[in-house]
Amino acid sequence: GESVGLHLPTLSVQEGDNSIINCAYSNSASDYFIWYKQESGKGPQFIIDIRSNMDKRQGQRVTVLLNKTVKHLSLQIAATQPGDSAVYFCAENYGQNFVFGPGTRLSVLP
Amino acid sequence: DVKVTQSSRYLVKRTGEKVFLECVQDMDHENMFWYRQDPGLGLRLIYFSYDVKMKEKGDIPEGYSVSREKKERFSLILESASTNQTSMYLCASTPPPRGRGEQFFGPGTRLTVL
């Protein structure tokens, strides 16, 4: 079975509420960041990206916030829907390298 | 619509077998990547390729090799499969510039090595 510590953190939210998923990145030289959504049995799908010269970017129902001072990225999902249930993970890009976070499982409660 | 396909969704192999995982993209992308995904560890880069017949090692290349004979196809090879290679394998591609920009992922191949 799985070892303790390898379980994904889980965020449970009520349908219709807003969700905030956080990510700490590792390299202060990273200048491009992406949030991905991965549904069960599928490959990751691009949600939204942000470059390091910005601190906020909005998409449809999603907002990404970047705090370079503390190397922190967050994804906000407005009016969370059942279809938003998935694993969400961030990726940081510096030079030719992508580094991916382990992910957070979002569970939407009816 | 952008498409990355992988040859198998589920694969079961025995220890010591040679395993081929195929990935094809129809977007004319130069850059292609192979990752493995394990619970709580995130995606880890095995190998990548920026051009035909070109390959570079990622973070965890041991036990794997790759082949890029055509621009649209990037194959991952497990020369002698072992149980610690049981994992989800994801292929991705990106347009140039090399290594930058959104990565388009395939659906993944869940490999079990018995």
How many CA atoms lie within 13 Å of B17's alpha carbon, on the beta-carbon side? 15
pLDDT at B81 (0 to 100): 97
| Predicted pLDDT at A3 | 34
What tokens appear for B63 in the block? 């036990």
A10 interfaces chain B, CB cutoff of 8 Å: no
Q: How sure is the predictor about A88, in pLDDT bands with cuts at 50, 70 and 90?
A: very high
Q: Is A1 on the interface with B (CB under 8 A)?
A: no
Which tens digit of pLDDT belongs to each residue from B68-83?
A: 999 999 999 999 999 9
**What per-residue confidence (pLDDT) applies to A2?**
33
Q: Identify the pLDDT of residue B109.
A: 96
pLDDT at B2: 65
Q: Residue A11, SS3? A: strand
What residues in chain B have per-residue pLDDT under 50?
none
Q: Give pLDDT, residue B82.
A: 97
Instruction: Report the residue of chain B nearest A49, measured CA to CA.
Output: B102
State the alpha helices, DSSP H only, in B1-114: none
Residues of chain B with C-beta less than 8 angstroms from the C-beta of A8: 39-40
pLDDT in tens, A11-47: 999 999 999 999 999 899 999 999 999 998 889 999 9
Judging by DSSP bridges, how do beta strands B73-78 and B104-105 pair with one another? unpaired
Residue in B9, B40, B102 closest to A49 by CB: B102
Q: Residue A108's pLDDT is what?
A: 96
In chain A, whose CA is at the least distance from the CA of B98? A96
Residues B47 and B55: beta-carbon distance below 8 Å: yes
Q: Do A89 and B42 touch (CB under 8 A)?
A: yes
The b-or-e profile of A10-25 (16+ CB within 10 A means b, else e) is ebebeeeeebebebeb
Q: What is the pLDDT of residue A26?
A: 87
- Residue A64's pLDDT is 97
pLDDT of residue B97: 67
Residues of B in contact with A102 (CB under 8 A): 40-42
